[in-house]
Structure 1
Amino acid sequence: MDQVPGSPQEPQHPHDEQGGDGLPGCYAHPDRTTGIRCTRCEKPICPDCMVSASVGFQCRDCVRGGSGTGHTAQATVPRTIAGGTITADPRLVTKILLGLNLAVFLAVLASGDDLVVQLELIGRADAGPAGNVGVALGEWYRLVTAMFLHQQIPHIAFNMLSLWWLGPPLEAALGRIRFIALYMLAGLGGSALTYLIAAENQPSLGASGAIFGLLGATAVLLRRMNADMKPVLILLGLNLVFTFLWPNIAWQAHVGGLVVGAAVAFGMVHAPRDRRTLIQGVTCAVALLAVVAVVWVRTLQLGG
């Protein structure tokens, strides 16, 4: 018996082959399951292929005018889910961040502990003949430099592998500028909470705060897309367990980065299209002001 188009025996859309999680694969990337469809042609689309529209999301083909007509389709500028510009290389910023971290690590290997003492995060401490050092004494740059500072190979290896895994999908979904803002604010959030809670002479370093921010942002993005969140939630749970049970880990940086990263990502991907830039800017500004307020309060406590 011949199958009638549109009957239960034949999929309504040619790309609707379901994966193990029951979701169809993206029309351009069949190995990526997704719960989002183009509002024009109804093809399944993954984050790399979705373009924000006035209602829902469209695939790149429809945005280019493949299934649209006239001036409207041609005038639409391709945008990411957060309103960023779609780029040819969605890993560029991630590569630059990896390069910066590796460059600082090589500099540490070449110079020894002297560079670590100059760049690590510390509230206030006696550095010997050099006198007292720390954020409380006006060395606010340590809040940033500590984000790119590593001493041990396993430490930088784990952080950079995590950055390479989490960074590109977020960079593709948010756009370069928003991704940079997310990374830096999450890292600063981790530094600020460490400065606030940890002992004033406790040194801290590493990109873990920013990495946890990317992890929180990934969870927010998947929730926004109605995608399967089990893998990222399991990963997040395991990382939090290691954070609190493994010795010599600055859990404050992990928690601070996670909270700020998730909050910033929420503002970015849930901002209404007509007020997207304003709300995203306000979200980032509020996060930065919160970091400044925390640092200011702690500085007053330490008599800086």
Structure 2
Amino acid sequence: MVIFNEKEKLTPAIVELKNQNKTIGFIPTMGALHEGHMSLVKASKAQNDYTIVSIFVNPTQFNNPEDLEKYPRTEEKDIELLTKNGCDFVYLPTVNDLYATNEVAKKYDFGTIDKVMEGASRPGHFDGVATIVSKLFRAVKPTRAYFGEKDFQQIRIIQEMVKQEGLDVLIMPMPIYRAETGLAFSSRNARLSTQQTDDAPQIYSILSKAVALKNDGKDVAEITKFVENEFANSPFKLEYFEITDENSLETIQHFSDAKNIRGFVVAYAGEVRLIDNIKF
């Protein structure tokens, strides 16, 4: 596995491979890697000649400087895990390698998709995400880029950014990688206590019951009320549950309102904010 710290060295190496008609799979990450990330590596290796993972904690997507400071950094373990899973290249840039001095996130017009759910309480967050992913795509020049559907709203943002900027990369959404209990893999899971880890699978269980209710003919309002009641009687504090159109991310009133529909949930286990979603 080859490690690059500078795009000036990375990009020519990638261009040389692409000139040989080699395909490049890319997984952008902020580190603290886990088996969910490795499932993306596995998918990339199956579909491309070479796979590259970037590890970069992006400052422009953090609203709170304290959150940026506290974000887990486990570079040594990450490299060990990537080596074990057959990754070909790792890009470990510094802030200065990607951003000019005092550079801020680019302002995008994403319509409504960056203003609902995660965007509602984190203004500017998705501008930061789109800015760094655009920079990474230009440095890595991937054929395909892989993202887990746990961060489904982020995928929609990146799809729109790619369209707006005319970038030549296929965005590959991948199914949420779950433990046998149903808990979605997340770097945040490491912060859960033993009891919270035991309780956390209830989140996916509630989502699964919601889908079953839909299949039994219940409407959006009934299912939303059911989910809210389930969380009220759980160890978790519900931040939001939304059933939306997958494309616009706008909340629907009836299942006939959209062809592709997904339910999104955010709940707190103590101070740990957990997100999940499910296709209806």
TM-score (norm 2): 0.24
Q: Which of the pair is proportionally richer in helix?
A: 1
Q: Which of the pair is proportionally richer in strand?
A: 2
Report which of the two structures shows the higher radius of gyration computed on alpha carbons: 1
